[in-house]
Structure 1
Amino acid sequence: MTLKAQYTEHSMQVAYTPKQLRARIRYGEYQTNTSGQCQGFVQGNVVILPEDWAADFLRFCQLNPRPCPLIAMSQVGDPLLPELGDELDIRTDIPRYRIFHGGELMQEVMDIVNHWRDDLVTFVLGCSFSFEEALLADGLEIRNITEGVNVPMYRTNIPCRKAGRFSSDMVVSMRPMLAADAIRAVQICTRFPSVHGAPVHIGDPSLIGIHDISSPDFGDAVSIHEGELPVFWACGVTPQVALETARPPLCITHSPGCMLVTDLPNSKLAVL
């Protein structure tokens, strides 16, 4: 069976709608990465900040749309995002959260009900898991899905544009591919600027400051077969690196790979 046929068969056997998966997450029945879940629907990176830090972060996203493609922003103090999902509650509907104080990671938790405040603003950024579906549908292999692990992510020396208190080098995610498949991936992902768009680099990882491809900074290592090139996309973990520099008194994010699964179809983000 071809990869495209395998993907089609898998898509027809999806067990949960996004709302059902969020319910499982809310009640502690699903606590791992969301790659490959709820095919056809947008997944999002999440950053939650106090209101007095929100304007700077919004500007950082606007200046750096490749790693930080903004798809939703909440009202101050409101944990609900009805435009992204029926009954979606940002306090409970992500498998794992990270709590930062002064830019330092303090703990990882399964919900943030006890950490929620009336001055918090939620940002949801596009995620590479959304364009993985389009690549799979075209018959391209996604190695982290094949191997059942989180996508490998790396810090780079590619600078982002500074905005107020936020500055950072880019974090990238990596998927190994044959050269012809990498070219096809560029063509496909160019249609999805709201979920990171086309790759930012193909080939020698040292050219973007990655010195050991076998040791990702986030996620899990994957196999790279003979004749394959590492293909790198801008990654929504970039804001977490920016937070290390900005050092807000409080920030809450998703844990890498543990995304917010929305009711928004991926097709709505494609540029035809």
Structure 2
Amino acid sequence: MWIDLNVDAGESFGNWKLGQDEELFPLVSSVNVACGFHAGDPLTMRRTLELAQRAGIAVGAHPGFPDLVGFGRREMAAGPEEVYADVLYQVGALAAFLKVAGMPLHHVKPHGALYNRATRDAPTAAAIARAVRDYDPGLPLVVLPGTPLEAEAQRLGLRTVAEAFPERGYTQDGRLAPRGTPGAWIHDPELAARRAVQMVLWGRVEAVDGGVVPVRAQTLCIHGDNPQALAIAKAVREALEREEVAIRTY
């Protein structure tokens, strides 16, 4: 048995630093790199790819809303055509740096409020999927399973990769608990590790509002901006490996 372990990274901007990318990368198998809209800048993108190349991990694009001040986590009134253009622009920007580095683009995973909207709004989901398909129809799209993002990507013929979040709370309907609500974030590394094992081995996890939620996962995400990201990544990896689950990319 195996699972991909991914981390959102490259989210610094200029002299403002965020995350522990250099320490995190050896613990994961793939990375989602900010493309300059919600975080990141050209030099940060280039340096992040250098770290990923040294660690031997796969690199994906992490496009979001153009919202540096809000870190891409604020809802924006962007219609489908604007979402399409924004995603295509960001994927192309990262792809240019990857080409120079001699590295392939491995996947695309939307960020923050853009990802969340695509889990409930079919036109937004379709715009994201169309941008990925038009860039490269063989490029996998990381999705929250059972949502419009998964459905629209598959309708357009894209390969989808089901994602789960051991350090985020789930509600009974299988959605991520809204940020700022009780239980939305898991900061205890050992609890996150137990949840990761539940997700991978048993296909379920406890909901913040009671009961158990079915989970389908091909990749597990660690948020690089979680203050406990490094400790969580270590605990999750160690717990999975104790259960003889290999960490490798899809």
Task: Give the alignment's TM-score, normalised by structure 1.
Answer: 0.25
Task: Give the alignment's TM-score, normalised by structure 2.
Answer: 0.26
Higher relative contact order (CA 8 A, sep 6+): 1
- Answer 1 or 2: which has greater helix percent: 2
